């Protein structure tokens, strides 16, 4: 069994104080002339991507399908992903710290997994709608790594898995209310587009969603146990809370970090009020360690939501698992009429996804990939911290193993209660996009310029290359 990837837990109180200072300080960003120079770099070095973006815009809303894609000045057309690197249509190479949102802990397109997928496709279509042995192999393997997952239901995405988990929680408890921690992203289904990314924003991003769809959803501030208890108590007077959803390291993969004790304290509150605890391990599952966040924290959730890594970065990456009693809520076949919680999906648990997931998890365990990716995250975070100090910048960096955060604008830590919220939101959001663009031009792809996922493919050589790129950007920031 492989080890966990967090060598030292972040000092959450100290981080919160530094982020608070960042959000109340003038933004330190690139000048208009420097941005113009970067735009000129894109014009000169990425013409094929520019043309591809123009072609896409004619047939795709906004010209891009992926919410995580770099958009400024246009999306990069990636034609090759291998190991630690991405390559675009113009032949430029980038260190890949986006990792499609986090599933590729082994690095992109690992040969051992690819070989198993190709072997499958030699004799079986990617989807049959029938039972395949890889479904059972994957479910058994997940249980071996996470004993709380007695049963596992494979689905198509993390969004679907959250929908299914909430439905099972309501069916099992007979209660309707759900509580999430503000700022967390649990997919884009109607009932959870609430308090996204910035805590306290409620239905701010719920365009196109009828208000009744959110009538049983509420949020509490990250780490605020008193508020959670008060909300659980209030809901108890109105039918009760079916489930509390948490990202174990904190909302947005730890963008709003929580203390090491937080999850156990939420577990106790859920038990006290007869609510289920749902761990959203779409990112942390198998990335923190093969036992997931639940193994690292030593906390047993009632339901676990999976995504991304459960299919090794291949499509069809999602699922939900839990105890026999709760998982019995799910319908199977066409004869369950009205007795259980309906789930489904033509492409769910297809042979290709299950085969890829099974062999990815085996390979990750064999190579101790979470620990190696975590060590890379430690080294990168230490290097970024040194650069921040060297250039006297107010930026904040910390990591949960291979999940590395770099806050430069503090935009996700603004407060809607601030009368100047919307005045601050635009410039700080723009800064984040500008930093992301600059990092890419220097050879590093990040998640929105503020989150970095490392993999075991990130050798010291790769990390040195990346840190040199970050320094080239930091060195351009004008002095305060």
Helices 369-390 and 351-367: angle between axes, nearest 10 degrees:
70
Q: Give strand pairing partners of 76.
A: none
What does the pLDDT read at residue 1? 47
Give Cβ neighbours of residue 456 (< 8 Å, ≥ 6 apart). 105, 106, 107, 367, 369, 372, 373, 376
> What is the Cα–Cα distance from 294 to 284, expressed in whole angstroms?
9
What does the alpha-carbon distance between residue 249 and residue 144 come to, in Å, rounded to a whole number?
Answer: 22
Distances (CA, A) of 436 to 70, 94, 248: 7, 13, 26
- DSSP strand pairing (217-220 vs 241-246): unpaired
Residue 435: helix, strand or coil by DSSP? helix
pLDDT on residue 18: 96
SS3 content of the chain, % helix, strand, coil (to 5): 45, 15, 40
Instruction: Output the pLDDT for position 64.
Output: 82
The token pair at 348 is 């769910």
Q: What is the pLDDT of residues 308-320, one digit of tens each?
A: 889 988 988 899 9
pLDDT digits (tens, 9 = 90+) for 61-110: 888 888 777 778 999 999 999 999 999 999 999 999 999 888 899 999 99
| Rounded Cα gap, residues 33 and 397, in angstroms | 27
Joined tokens for residue 271: 């038990």
Contact criterion met (CB below 8 Å) for 322 and 172: no
Phi, psi of 242 (to 5 degrees): -70, -40
The pair of three-digit structure tokens given for residue 75, joined into one six-digit string: 């999306």
Which residues is 289 bridged to in the sheet? 285
DSSP H/E element including 241: strand 241-246
Report the residue count for the chain: 480
* DSSP character string of 248-297: TT-HHHHTS---TTHHHHHHHHHHHHT-EEEEE-TTTBTTTBTTHHHHHH
Per-residue pLDDT of the chain in tens (480 residues, 90 and over written 9): 468 999 999 999 999 999 999 999 999 999 999 999 999 999 999 999 999 999 999 999 888 888 777 778 999 999 999 999 999 999 999 999 999 888 899 999 999 999 999 999 999 989 888 889 999 999 999 999 999 999 999 999 999 999 999 999 999 999 999 999 999 999 999 999 999 989 999 999 999 999 999 999 999 999 999 999 999 999 999 999 999 999 999 999 999 999 999 999 999 999 999 999 999 999 999 999 999 999 999 999 999 999 988 998 898 889 999 999 999 988 655 555 556 788 888 889 999 999 999 999 999 999 999 999 999 999 999 999 999 999 999 999 999 999 999 999 999 999 888 888 899 999 999 999 999 999 999 999 999 889 999 999 999 999 999 999 999 999 999 998
Cβ–Cβ < 8 Å for 100, 313: yes
* N-terminal to C-terminal alpha carbon distance within the chain: 49
Give the closest residue to 193 by CA, choosing from 66, 182, 156. Answer: 182
Contact 145, 281 (CB under 8 A): no
Taking residue 452's Cβ as centre, other Cβ atoms within 10 Å add up to 29
3-class DSSP state of 106: coil
CA geometry: angle at 192 spanning 414 and 353, to 5°?
115
pTM for this prediction:
0.95
How many whole angstroms from its chain centre is CA 261?
21
């Amino acid at each position: 069994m492989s080890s966990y990837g967090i060598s030292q837990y972040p000092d959450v109180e100290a981080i919160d104080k530094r982020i608070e200072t960042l959000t109340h300080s003038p933004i330190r960003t690139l000048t208009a002339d420097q941005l113009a120079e970067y735009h000129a770099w894109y014009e000169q070095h990425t013409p094929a991507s520019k043309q591809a973006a123009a072609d896409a815009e004619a047939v795709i809303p906004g010209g891009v399908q992926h919410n995580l894609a770099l958009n400024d000045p246009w999306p990069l057309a990636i034609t090759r992903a291998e190991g630690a690197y991405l390559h675009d249509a113009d032949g430029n190479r980038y260190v890949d710290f986006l990792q499609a949102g986090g599933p590729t802990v082994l690095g992109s397109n690992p040969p051992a997994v690819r070989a198993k997928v190709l072997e499958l496709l030699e004799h079986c279509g990617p989807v049959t709608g029938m039972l395949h042995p890889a479904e059972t192999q994957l479910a058994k393997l997940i249980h071996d790594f996470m004993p709380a997952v007695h049963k596992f239901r494979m689905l198509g995405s993390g969004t679907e898995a959250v929908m299914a988990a909430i439905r099972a929680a309501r069916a099992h408890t007979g209660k309707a209310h759900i509580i999430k921690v503000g700022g967390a992203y649990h997919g884009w289904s109607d009932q959870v587009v609430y308090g996204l990314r910035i805590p306290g924003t409620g239905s701010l991003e719920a365009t196109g969603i009828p208000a009744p769809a959110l009538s049983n959803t509420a949020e509490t501030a990250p780490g605020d146990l008193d508020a959670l208890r008060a909300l659980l108590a209030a809901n108890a007077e109105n039918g009760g809370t079916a489930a509390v959803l948490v990202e174990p390291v904190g909302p947005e993969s730890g963008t709003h970090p929580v203390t090491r004790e937080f999850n156990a304290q939420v577990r106790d509150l859920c038990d006290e009020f007869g609510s289920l605890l749902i761990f959203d391990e779409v990112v942390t599952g198998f990335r923190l360690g093969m036992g997931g966040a639940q193994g690292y924290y030593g906390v047993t959730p009632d339901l676990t939501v999976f995504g991304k890594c459960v299919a090794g970065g291949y499509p069809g990456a999602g699922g939900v698992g839990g105890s026999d009693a709760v998982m019995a809520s799910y319908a199977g076949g066409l004869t369950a009429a009205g007795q259980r919680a309906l789930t489904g999906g033509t492409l769910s648990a297809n042979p290709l996804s299950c085969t890829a997931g099974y062999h990815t998890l085996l390979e990750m365990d064999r190579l101790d990939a979470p620990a190696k990716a975590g060590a890379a995250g430690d080294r990168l975070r230490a290097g970024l911290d040194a650069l921040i100090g060297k250039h006297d910048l107010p930026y904040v960096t910390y990591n949960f193993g291979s999940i590395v955060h770099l806050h430069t604008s503090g935009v996700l830590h603004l407060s809607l209660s601030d009368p100047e919220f919307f005045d601050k939101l635009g410039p700080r959001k723009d800064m984040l996009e500008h930093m992301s663009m600059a990092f890419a031009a220097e050879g590093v792809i990040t998640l929105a310029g503020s989150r970095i996922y490392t993999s075991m493919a990130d050798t010291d050589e790769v990390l040195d290359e990346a840190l040199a790129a970050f320094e080239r950007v930091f060195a351009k920031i004008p002095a305060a």
